């Protein structure tokens, strides 16, 4: 599996009563596959994976694999505070037919980089799916140093990709690309594409992040990988108000936008996550109208 | 169910390979029941509940209920970052025959006391087991104010007990006892009994915490509830070096001591939790020998 | 003093050896005054106030007041973990001729909103300058609830303005504007203007934040206050890539840009703050060239 | 200067109005000197150094040096978020006649061990007083790894001592003692002596911490350094209820006890630090009466 490209993090749709809305999830996966993304990532942080029971995870993975139908890859977020449990979640993903897992370290009372390395090594030793190592200090509270990340790449062949979300991302992406030795893996950027243009400019190999318009991520990445940074910038700048608006904490804004696009039936966020405020929903309509005047967003847009 | 008394938090035993050691768990529950504790709490923070898959939780709860055999009550830690999932874990506990659940709030990016109240109210509304509301900011990163705790007690009948572990515990326990109005519930103290004497002195109704010698917690509480604070202090002071030694981060010290007592087969802590350092194991033997010279700790001790 | 308008947070210039560069500071204040800002704020978080000795604070305040020369107002960041010391810093500001102080609460081991209220009340009781109450949880670790902020406004007349930087800012600004009763004060937005358009759209009364192009903040605010949200959006969107690039942690990017503008002699950040990486400096030149092609940024620009 | 021994961290006395009570401070220093401590540390975390203006720091240092009168050493807490400012505080300490400084690193948005090393190296390069490097993650939020601490010792001759307060302290003290190579420095323990017996057992060279009965720290350390661990344990266990009671957050308990001892005129803690609750003051009298029945604590006690 090639980890260069665009791998949107999917939201998890819920019905108004908080139960899984697998039908919308199916639609979401198919929509992304239809856009030609290189894969989808389910059960990421903004997929509200931390608000799910294990059997719900199973249902979501199975649905994603079925909906992908081999047309696109399925990466499964499998991070868990316990190493054995992480391995259990990786096994679940493998058995259900996923293509890769995404794993981030978890914070311990006494931070210890050796133990973070061991965490990844033990998961790799289980001999399961390729691993996207996620570096997202904002959610994990684990600050992996660049030497640690480079050591993970050099010594653990199961690590197939780095998802870099530690700020400043452009500096860290550049350092990773320059620091990797014989063994090299793709570096994807996340953080809702906030620094997307800049990360791609220093060599990021694509996106692994959520945004309600994956077609825009595809277009920005296509331009950047072709070396057309003027076009990459133009697209990035055009959509930046929307990217920024989605940066607000939680996933409510993105879900409302996915609802506006006809992909989710409801913008329901599981409690205790915040629902979208009415004032925010109004602003969202405003900014969509300003960025995409007259465009029918219920269809794939032309960025 | 009466929530006054001593409710030890049980460690979760593992085999050397990290798998559940249900046989030791069975022994641990029976040992506690035999001591006459008022109940046991399984899947607490130091029961490494956060390193468990759901199906492992099921196995542990079922084993605890079976081992308790009606001789003692079983409280199940059911905290989960998502409210629906917490309810799911509470339902699991109920279906497996547990007597109560212990629930703590989870941190959200933007703290909001109203949402913490809603969290407990939604769980209560599911109409399942009585709830021990746990206030443990050190692990949850949620600082519940005293007014919030009092409101939980006043307005949510399913909340049957407060487990108070916010420092300074003696001040907070006193304030809770004084602040409760018409509806009153027991207040138990935790934190490994570090401030146990002081908490009981201001009216705590017992212990809900782990310690490798539950018989000591029983004796301290018995003295305190009888108003014999001199005896409560004597016992507390005698065992304080052990209580303090167990305060070190993680659960490795306690598990090693439980192993020394013949209750666990191994002191294994699930990765990435820290195993006990050899120097710490030596110190543990030293302090046990100093506090309990010549005592056979593989049997229930006479405090 | 009227707290509606644009009040840039000024960087503190240093020489290459880390000593204060008062000459550049003087130039920076005059440049801002010349643009017609409503006031400047010195010794804010990104003014590296936490890396300053008290006598350096004195020198900076005196210089700012002299350079402002009555043409613009001077607000002085005076937050300090101790209440008496905060009052001492407020007195210093007053004695040196400043017009107002900006104060944020400091985190205590046990969060307590009553104590935060007392903090502001005690400072107000000292009878010194008007207070801009800063709500910036990202730097203070103090999450002030909306009821607390509204109570501060209602009960403490010395509080003359709220600087709202708790995310989601548009939702909080809206709630503040709607929630204020008889006593009303302006609400300014910060966070490097990241959500500036959205904050102004719901009624923010201006900016109190840093950006290397204060003339842009003035233009965005002018449009928004005139109700021309299309123009406000156009300007915001145009400069958003720069605003976002400056969001990277620390103040190094902004200082380099101020250097490029001829305002600072060096982009020196005091240790242990991070200096700008060479790759980031290159990206900064790139984004400036894309946003402002052919523009001489060493003069005030026409946004 | 020899950094083995007992170096109490002194409280900073205030009058009821929050101003410095230099007379009590003088008494406190003389009392400690009279007990034969190896030095006193002023302006530590529990000396409320973070609630002080620079000119107050000057007054306290000058008073401490005068009161010590050469009979005991004076170490000055000089930590500051900015490196230049830390150096400024170290210079202040030197010019006022102190013997050493105590310095802890400060947290930056992106943790970076290289920068922590640079921080100490820059301070050392200023060629001022010997440095006690403080490792206290609970207050600094900086987790220094053991390799970093060992590198500080090996490469920076100005670092004369490590104050180890990262839990588990006994494990870390043991690792430091074993890990130091050619260049060796004393390792002192802190944390209010909570783990004092255990830290000394693995080779800690003394105490650098606060406790209202420094004579007890002296006696415990004397026994431990003489290899009489039974006596060290006996004393530690005897006073452990008091040591534990003082562990409650803030310095209010300690100050009340110092007041009871006749050393402070008031137990005033600077706002926003918490004053002692009346229930806590009552418990303090209770525990003192139980640990030291009939003893006149206004004089030096015989442990």
Q: Share the mean pLDDT of chain B.
A: 97
Q: What is the pLDDT of residue A20?
A: 98
A112 touches chain D (CB under 8 A): yes
The model's pTM is: 0.97
Q: Is the pLDDT of residue D205 over 90?
A: yes
Q: What is the pLDDT of residues D9-66, one digit of tens each?
A: 999 999 999 999 999 999 999 999 999 999 999 999 999 999 999 999 999 999 999 9
Partner-chain contact C277 A236, CB within 8 Å: no
Contact assessment for residue C141 and residue C107, using Cβ atoms and an 8 Å cutoff: yes
Contact assessment for residue D101 and residue D128, using Cβ atoms and an 8 Å cutoff: yes
Query: Quick check: helix, strand or coil at residue C40?
Result: strand
Please state, in angstroms and rounded to a whole number, the distance separating the CA atoms of residues C302 and D22.
58
Of the pLDDT bands very low, low, confident and very high (cuts 50, 70, 90), residue B109 is: confident
Contact assessment for residue A232 and residue A200, using Cβ atoms and an 8 Å cutoff: yes
User: CA of C113: which chain B residue's CA is closest?
Assistant: B145
User: How far apart are the CA of A73 and the nearest CA of chain B, in angstroms?
Assistant: 25
Q: Report yes or no on D259 lying in a domain.
A: yes
Mean pLDDT over D251-264 rounds to: 98
Phi-psi region of B129 (alpha: psi -120 to 50; beta: other; left: phi over 0): beta
Of the pLDDT bands very low, low, confident and very high (cuts 50, 70, 90), residue B1 is: confident
Q: Counting one residue from B and one from D, how many pairs have CB atoms under 8 Å apart?
A: 85
User: CA of B114: which chain C residue's CA is closest?
Assistant: C145
Please state, in angstroms and rounded to a whole number, the distance separating the CA atoms of residues A252 and A244.
14
Q: Report yes or no on D297 lying in a domain.
A: no
C105 touches chain B (CB under 8 A): no
Q: Report yes or no on D249 lying in a domain.
A: yes
User: CA of A51: which chain B residue's CA is closest?
Assistant: B82
- The partner residues of B131 in beta bridges, in order of sequence, read B101, B159
Partner-chain contact A143 D167, CB within 8 Å: no
DSSP secondary structure letters along B40-61: EEES-GGGTGGG--HHHHHHHH
Mean pLDDT by groups of 10 residues along chain A of 303 residues? 96 97 98 98 97 98 98 98 98 98 94 96 98 97 97 98 98 98 98 98 98 98 98 98 97 98 98 96 98 98 97
Mean pLDDT over C202-226 rounds to: 98
Interface pTM, i.e. ipTM: 0.97
C13: CATH: 3.20.20.70
Q: Is the pLDDT of residue D177 over 90?
A: yes
Q: Report yes or no on C74 lying in a domain.
A: yes
Contacts of B233 in chain D (CB under 8 A): 241, 287, 290
Q: Share the mean pLDDT of chain D.
A: 97
Mean pLDDT over B139-164 rounds to: 97
Contacts of A230 in chain C (CB under 8 A): 290
Q: What is the pLDDT of residues C239-252, one digit of tens each?
A: 999 999 999 999 99
Of the pLDDT bands very low, low, confident and very high (cuts 50, 70, 90), residue B89 is: very high
Please state, in angstroms and rounded to a whole number, the distance separating the CA atoms of residues D129 and C159.
44
C171 touches chain A (CB under 8 A): yes
Q: Report yes or no on D45 lying in a domain.
A: yes
Contacts of D241 in chain B (CB under 8 A): 197, 233, 236-237, 240
Q: Report yes or no on A297 lying in a domain.
A: no
Residue range of the domain that includes D14: 5-291
Contact assessment for residue C153 and residue C180, using Cβ atoms and an 8 Å cutoff: yes
Q: What is the pLDDT of residue D109?
A: 87
User: CA of D81: which chain C residue's CA is closest?
Assistant: C51
User: How far apart are the CA of B90 and the nearest CA of chain A, in angstroms?
Assistant: 12
Nearest to A167 among D110, D113, D145 (CB): D110
Is there a cis peptide before residue D162, judged by omega within 30 degrees of 0?
A: no
Q: Report yes or no on D280 lying in a domain.
A: yes
Q: What is the pLDDT of residue B193?
A: 98
φ, ψ (nearest 5 deg) of residue B202: -95, 10
Question: Where do the H-state alpha helices sit in D180-277?
Answer: 196-201, 214-225, 229-246, 252-260
Contact assessment for residue D112 and residue A175, using Cβ atoms and an 8 Å cutoff: no
Q: What is the pLDDT of residue B5?
A: 98
Please state, in angstroms and rounded to a whole number, the distance separating the CA atoms of residues A165 and D64.
49
Please state, in angstroms and rounded to a whole number, the distance separating the CA atoms of residues D168 and A109.
10
D240 touches chain B (CB under 8 A): yes
User: How far apart are the CA of C50 and the nearest CA of chain D, in angstroms?
Assistant: 6
Q: What is the pLDDT of residue C1?
A: 87
Mean pLDDT over B18-42 rounds to: 98
Nearest to A143 among D111, D145, D167 (CB): D111
- Alpha carbon C177 to its chain centroid, in Å, reads 20
Q: What is the pLDDT of residue C109?
A: 87
Q: What is the pLDDT of residue D57?
A: 98
Partner-chain contact C272 D119, CB within 8 Å: yes
Partner-chain contact B279 D170, CB within 8 Å: yes
- Token pair in block for residue B149: 């705790």
Q: Among all chains, which residue has been given the structure tokens 């009981």?
A: B200
Q: What is the pLDDT of residue A218?
A: 98
- Residue from D279, D281, D291 to probe the interface with B (highest B Cβ count within 10 Å): D279
Number of domains in chain C: 1
Q: Report yes or no on B302 lying in a domain.
A: no
Residue B301: which of B210, B215, B243 has the closest Cα? B215
Contact assessment for residue D32 and residue D10, using Cβ atoms and an 8 Å cutoff: yes
Q: What is the pLDDT of residue C153?
A: 98
Going by the DSSP 8-state scheme, the letter that residue D278 receives in this structure is: H
D241 touches chain C (CB under 8 A): no
Q: What is the pLDDT of residue C265?
A: 98
User: How far apart are the CA of D220 and the nearest CA of chain B, in angstroms?
Assistant: 14
Q: What is the pLDDT of residue B233?
A: 98
User: Chains contacting A with at least 3 CB pairs below 8 Å?
Assistant: B, C, D
Query: How many CA atoms lie less than 13 Å away from C275 in the CB half-sphere?
Result: 10
Q: Among all chains, which residue has been given the structure tokens 């002192």?
A: D188
Nearest to B119 among A50, A115, A271 (CB): A271
User: CA of B248: which chain A residue's CA is closest?
Assistant: A109
Rounded to whole angstroms, what are the CA distances from B140 to B5, C291, D187? 24, 44, 33
Q: Is the pLDDT of residue D1 over 90?
A: no
């Amino acid at each position: 599996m090639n980890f260069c490209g665009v791998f949107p993090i999917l939201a998890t749709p819920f019905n108004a009563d908080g139960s899984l809305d697998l039908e919308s999830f199916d639609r979401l996966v198919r929509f992304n596959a239809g856009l030609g993304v290189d894969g989808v990532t389910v059960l990421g942080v903004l997929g509200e994976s931390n608000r799910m029971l294990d059997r719900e995870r199973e249902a979501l993975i199975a649905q994603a694999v079925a909906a992908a139908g081999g047309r696109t890859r399925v990466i499964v977020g499998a991070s868990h505070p316990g190493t054995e449990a992480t391995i259990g979640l990786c096994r679940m993903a493998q058995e259900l037919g996923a293509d890769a897992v995404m794993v981030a370290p978890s914070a311990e009372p006494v931070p210890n980089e050796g133990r973070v390395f061991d965490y990844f090594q033990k998961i790799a030793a289980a001999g399961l799916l390729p691993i996207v190592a996620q570096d997202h200090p904002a959610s994990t509270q684990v600050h992996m140093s660049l030497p640690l990340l480079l050591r993970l790449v050099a010594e653990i062949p199961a690590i197939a990709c780095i998802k870099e979300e530690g700020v400043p991302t452009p500096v860290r992406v550049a350092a990773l690309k320059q620091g990797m030795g014989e063994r090299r893996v793709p570096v994807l950027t996340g953080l809702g594409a906030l620094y997307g243009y800049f990360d791609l400019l220093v060599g990021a190999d694509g996106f692994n992040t959520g945004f309600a318009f994956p077609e825009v991520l595809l277009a920005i990445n296509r331009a950047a990988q072709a070396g057309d940074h003027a076009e990459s910038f133009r697209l990035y700048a055009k959509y930046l108000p929307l990217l920024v608006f989605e940066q607000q904490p939680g996933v409510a804004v993105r879900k409302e936008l996915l609802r506006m696009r006809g992909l989710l039936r409801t913008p329901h966020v599981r409690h205790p996550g915040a629902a979208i405020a009415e004032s925010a929903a109004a602003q969202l309509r405003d900014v969509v109208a300003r960025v995409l005047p007259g465009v029918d967003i219920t269809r794939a847009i032309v960025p």
